[in-house]
Structure 1
Amino acid sequence: MERTTNWTRLVPSLRLTAAVTLSAWLAGCAITADEPPGGEHAHGIPEQYAAWFAGGLEADIDSSDWSRINRAQDFIDEGRYDEAIDYLEPLLARDLPPAYYEMAKLYDQGLGVEENPAEAARLYGLAIEKPSSVRGHASLNLARLYLEGRGVERNDVLAYYLLWQAREADLDRTAEVLLADLLAEGGEGVETDPELARQLYEQAAAQGQQQALQALAEAYAPGGWLEEDPAQAMDYAQRYAEVLQASAQQGDVDAMLQLASLYSDDGLLGDQPDQRIHWLQQAAQAGDLDALARAGRDMAEAGNQRQGIDLLEDAARQGHVDAMTYLGQALLEPETGRPEPVRAERWLREAIEAGSVDAQVILGRALVEGQGGLNDLPRGMGLLEQAAERNHPLALAQLGSLYLDDERVAGQPYIAVDYLERGHELGHPWATQQLGAAYLEGRGVPEDPLRGEELLREAAERGQSGAMRLLGEAYLNEERLAFEPSRGEELLRQAAEAGDTTAMTQLGEAYLEGPLREDPSLGIQLLNQAASQGDAYAMVVLGRAYRNGTGVERDLGEANRWLTLAQEAGHEAADDALTYVQRDLGARGNIEALVAAAENGHPGAMADLGRAYLDGEGVQRDQDQAEYWLGQAHQAGHAGAAASLGRMYMDRGDSERGIDYLEAAVSRGHDGARTDLGEAYLTGSHVAQDVDRGLELLTAAAESGSPHAAFMLGEAYQHGDGVEQDAEQAERWYRQASDAGVTYARAALGLALIRGEGAIAQDVEQGHELLLDAAEQGHPGAQASLGREYLRGDNIEADPERGANYLYEAASQGHRSARLALAQAYLSARGLEQANQQQALLWLDDVFESEGQLAIETLRQLLTDEAAIAAASEVDVED
């Protein structure tokens, strides 16, 4: 909506009374008829244009001819073009170059005749066929036409030679600037020469030529074509501003507007709102309505809302359509104060009636998005459709978004993609981003990750932070594009720096939990930044981090605070995450948190509360409350609650109800219930035995990672419980459970290997190693078995002292067979084989209650008796 002034400064009319002496050009050489200057950068001059650059005698123009030319110029200055043409026509008939030149300017500018650049070019060409005082100026104007392709086919080579020729006569240095422009960028058939371009600009800048000063400031600035030099860039920019100020103080409105641009966000002197608004106001006071509108908009955006609105309204009342549009938008989105939707819609409607498509889009989006209190989806979409018919790119992008993703609109992905394709072709980065995402995900178009990547890259290169985020995310998750973590990290970082809070959250989570290199402190910093700006998922991730102590010290209070904020913000993941925190808080005695979540209907919390009442954790044990809350959770579909109910009823002896609940838990995918139910069917405990069903359930649970299910399978195949013995299967499942850290599985495998009983072949060394490991971890069954092996000495070398130690350790943990073994040894050592075993066990109780060392010594003495050793060895040791 910002006005762009497109202007070309024409060479002023000349009072020419004599020939102008040609000055030396850069190398100091005079131009000869056979050697036009500058030939080292371009191909030769086409033969048909050779006369334009030829030497020879100047055209014969006497004083009366000059009088008529000067008189014609007077008429032109006075706007009396017909009379000027009457004076020029006789001179045209005599082929006088100044007459051709003056007539060419009239056609060039459309003064007194219809603008006709082709005729102007023809006349300029005639004006330079003979040497004269106007040759340089006519060459300059003709060069412009060839550079712009106006009235003639663009020809950079001809323009190049014409500019060199013009340079010899153009006293205001315009030719140097245009020639430098061409040499700096190069052209078709013209080679670049940055150094020569710099010299030409500097020569023009030394005489205060503003275009040269501007060009050098841009060339030395970042991204310029000369080596970056901020000091030089600033010096030339300030000199450029001084030249403009001199013109502005003389009332030059264009200079005022150029000064305003200098102080804009991307201007050479940087964003200086006060200076920018000052010069816009100066231009507005000089009668420039565009400047008045721009000043109002900039004031409103800079925080001076009231004065900005006043200026915009002033321009709007004078019929400035863009001002009406700016005003409507400012009233919908005020920096301070409340929106004024009625007033905003009034001005936007006036702008629409005056033909503003931008106003259609602004009002349409406001109605669709509920902005500023407006809310009318059908009317908003109607306005957007009208703007789309006129190919407004933002309207196309917005409609694409609505038909692709908005749940209020029936999804029509193919229509959405059509809008987005049109918006993309018109260059709108948001449309390009959405189209890239559609190709990446296969929505509305066949999935094409490479095309999606190409489009997202294009949008990202144009600064679209959403595209940076989507592409960065795709490079990190390996779903559709190759895994490129460094590229993903860089893109997410760029999006985050652009203010995209979702990108901040994704990058923070990647630093905290992977897949990027772990940098927890930076991850927490980014998540805090995103959460403080309202990103609900960032709050969820922070809550998890504080609960788990990831990147921060564990703090359940902070976890609870962030997750509560996320819940209040409506994030669906907050409820489950908050339940885990409440469970932890409950385990620490804060049962109120768990009760509150359960009473709010959260299935996990209800299940946790039921288990708390069942086990008496944090609350007094209460079977009725346990059954109630577990039942509520079960009704809500919670698999763990069904499993807990199943175990509870089986423990009570209500096998039928217990099995029903376990079946329900299994149908919901609960591995623990699958293990319990599989064990019941395999052993026929609580249910009619069904070995096949039991093996099926246990195998499924074991393959899902249940170590107890793996142990049960190992036992079945080792001992042939309902299946044929199978050493390979037995060892496989024993080892799976053992590798998962289950010591009783390690003990069982060790015992099987050391004794060679059952399916598994004997391997004393490996079995001994496994039993030792389980015994050292405190498993009483392993200690008892190992103690007996050391006493008997059948499979390993006898060591009564170690045997006594292990039996004592097992017995002290209440291991039944270990206690019986020691009691039997006591009876035998006393010659009381027929004595009451109850008496022996009472004796053992006294031993265990005494000092540990004394007990060990007593047992050592006891087991020096061979009969006692034999008696202890005969007792079967169970796990």
Structure 2
Amino acid sequence: SDFEQLASEKGVSSELYLLTAVEVINGTSFVHPLYNTNKNDENNDNQTDQSELAHCALKYLRKKAAKGDVEAKIKLSTVLQSDLSIHQDHREADIWARSVFDRRLSAALTNCIEGFEHEEDLFSTVLKQADEQGLPQMCHLVGLVLLDGVGLPRDTERGVNYLKKAATAGHNGARVELASILGDAFKYPGLHNIQESLSLYEEAASKQIDDNIHSNANNSNHGNSNAHNNSTTNMIRRLTASDARALTDLARLYYEGNQEGGVPRDREKAYRYARRVAEATGEQFCQYIVGDILLHDKKDAQQAIFWLTQSGEQGFPLAIETLSRVYYYGLPYARIRQDYEQAHDWCIRGDDIWPSGLGFCQTCLGDMYRSGLGVPKDLMKSFEYYQKAASQQDAPQNYSRFMLGEMFYKGEGSWPQNYAVASEYYKLAAAEDYQPAKERLDQLAALEAQKEAAKAAAAESAMKRKPWQFWTMFGGGGRRKPAATV
């Protein structure tokens, strides 16, 4: 850029370009001046007007920020809010600051900024282009900032209208954003329309495929001998952020279904969409969907384990739980035997899931340490894992409560036998209609009844053997003589 060239000529190190740009915009002096401060020096042909140089520096910062440079975004947002800055714009500053962590906004800015490098009031120009010319990329950006209230007051209705305008003009990112809004019944209940959301997602996915086919055809026409053979690979790899988001949401929608919205589950479509994203981006939920469908529908356990492992390595809870099940129980149809060592490793990961771990994994760990399956037998560790699982809200909690009761009911090894404590754990599980706990409570009640009967029998037997003990209550064992009368 012009700024980089000028800074280089003045001996400024490339590592200091961003800092130098900030100092120029703020009008401060620095070690390597890019403009001549001696206005009386008529022999200086390189004299540069400070205001012109400041705009050149601003253009440089915007270009770097638009390309995703986080440091440039931070410096730009800071300098645009500074009272020292030659150019001050709080609205633009807010947008650049938000784009540091908002990928949607960052991508939208990238597509809009190149044509406005010389504009002082950047966002006013964007609004003008969106309103007067209806440029789809401008409408998309304006829609995003209105929805989130960044740089402009939040206005959902106007934001959605801008997105519709961009989507109608063929902007895929706007289609995906609009589909996400229409599919979110919690955040946008008044706009919820699952069928329209699904239609927009399908349009976005279809356009992504068409664009890739067109691109591959162009490569073939230009003499690329490998283009035809690698067309499928190229289609997989060419996924923008909005493409990946559309395919991921489609995969989720077809995988889970939506009865209220009239969208039935379609695991084949879910697999097709999820596989494209899993192979292109490594998205963990899509990897799990691929693995789950391969495991249960296509009966390809080896491929399923591969994809589940990819997802589990990223910490996806459902993948970790599924792998724990596979290794703990084995898969006879696929000749995958029980592997307690692998099961233990995945269950440990499941126990570490924030905030309180996976109940199934904790239950398996309790079983393994209780019975010494792949690990040394340790009743205390078993008790601790059962306790963790028993406090969960999902299905294994009642089994864990029952097993805690069993430990006190049976008093295994050095563990104390205590029917009263066992009964309390059984009652917790029985309250959730857990049948084994109910049966054990019946057994405890029967034992208690037997004990009471035995006590009563013992008391009756004792009374028959030693009746004199009762007479002592009436004073020495004999009747009193009647008192003498006068």
What TM-score results when the alignment is normalised by the length of structure 1? 0.30
Q: Distance in 2 between matches of 1:797 and 1:566?
A: 74
Q: Is the 8 A contact 2:321 2:347 kept in 1?
A: no
Query: 2:362 aligns to what?
Result: 710
SS in 2 for 1:551: coil
Query: 1:550 aligns to what?
Result: 186
Distance 1:537 1:506, change over 3 A: farther
Q: Is the 8 A contact 2:295 2:304 kept in 1?
A: yes
Query: 1:325 aligns to what?
Result: none
Query: 1:662 aligns to what?
Result: 305
Distance 1:415 1:686, change over 3 A: same
Query: 2:157 aligns to what?
Result: 525
Q: Is the 8 A contact 1:468 1:495 kept in 2?
A: no
1:679 pairs with 304, 328, 332, which one? 328
The 5 A counterparts of 1:64-463 are: 424=25, 426=52, 431-432=57-58, 435=61, 443=69, 451=75, 453-458=77-82, 462-463=88-89
Q: Is the 8 A contact 2:391 2:397 kept in 1?
A: no
- For 1:525, the aligned partner's letter is E
Q: Is the 8 A contact 1:543 1:563 kept in 2?
A: yes
SS in 1 for 2:375: coil
Query: 2:147 aligns to what?
Result: 508
Is the aligned partner of 1:733 residue 2:404? Answer: no
Q: Distance in 2 between matches of 1:546 and 1:797?
A: 67
1:549: Cα distance to partner? 0.9
Structure of greater relative contact order (alpha carbons < 8 Å, 6+ residues apart): 2
CA deviation digits over 1:480-524, x for unaligned, max 9? xxxxxxxxxxxxxx969984753652563589xxxxxxxxx9674
Distance 1:700 1:533, change over 3 A: same
1:698 pairs with 326, 332, 347, which one? 347
Q: Distance in 1 between matches of 2:450 and 2:323?
A: 38
What TM-score results when the alignment is normalised by the length of structure 2? 0.50
Q: Distance in 1 between matches of 2:294 and 2:403?
A: 35
1:453: Cα distance to partner? 4.8
- For 1:502, the aligned partner's letter is L
CA deviation digits over 1:126-181, x for unaligned, max 9? xxxxxxxxxxxxxxxxxxxxxxxxxxxxxxxxxxxxxxxxxxxxxxxxxxxxxxxx
Is the aligned partner of 1:602 residue 2:273? Answer: yes
Distance 1:594 1:715, change over 3 A: closer
CA deviation digits over 1:82-115, x for unaligned, max 9? xxxxxxxxxxxxxxxxxxxxxxxxxxxxxxxxxx
Distance 1:524 1:540, change over 3 A: farther
1:662: Cα distance to partner? 2.6
1:575: Cα distance to partner? 1.9
1:679: Cα distance to partner? 0.5
CA deviation digits over 1:287-329, x for unaligned, max 9? xxxxxxxxxxxxxxxxxxxxxxxxxxxxxxxxxxxxxxxxxxx
1:792 pairs with 417, 423, 447, which one? 447
1:540: Cα distance to partner? 3.3
SS in 2 for 1:742: coil
Q: Distance in 2 between matches of 1:687 and 1:781?
A: 30
Query: 1:641 aligns to what?
Result: 290
Q: Distance in 1 between matches of 2:54 and 2:19?
A: 14
Q: Distance in 1 between matches of 2:339 and 2:172?
A: 50
Q: Distance in 2 between matches of 1:418 and 1:766?
A: 69
Q: Distance in 1 between matches of 2:450 and 2:68?
A: 67
1:708: Cα distance to partner? 1.6
- For 1:547, the aligned partner's letter is G
Question: Between the two proteins, what is the percent identity of the paired residues?
Answer: 12
- For 2:444, the aligned partner's letter is E
1:645: Cα distance to partner? 3.5
Distance 1:563 1:649, change over 3 A: closer
Query: 2:96 aligns to what?
Result: 470
- Unaligned segments of structure 1, at least 5 residues: 1-383, 397-412, 478-493, 512-520, 608-636, 651-656, 799-879
SS in 2 for 1:777: coil
Is the aligned partner of 1:576 residue 2:248? Answer: yes
Query: 1:871 aligns to what?
Result: none
Q: Distance in 1 between matches of 2:439 and 2:362?
A: 23
- Unaligned segments of structure 2, at least 5 residues: 8-13, 26-49, 104-121, 128-137, 209-239, 279-285, 313-318, 454-486
Q: Is the 8 A contact 1:528 1:538 kept in 2?
A: no
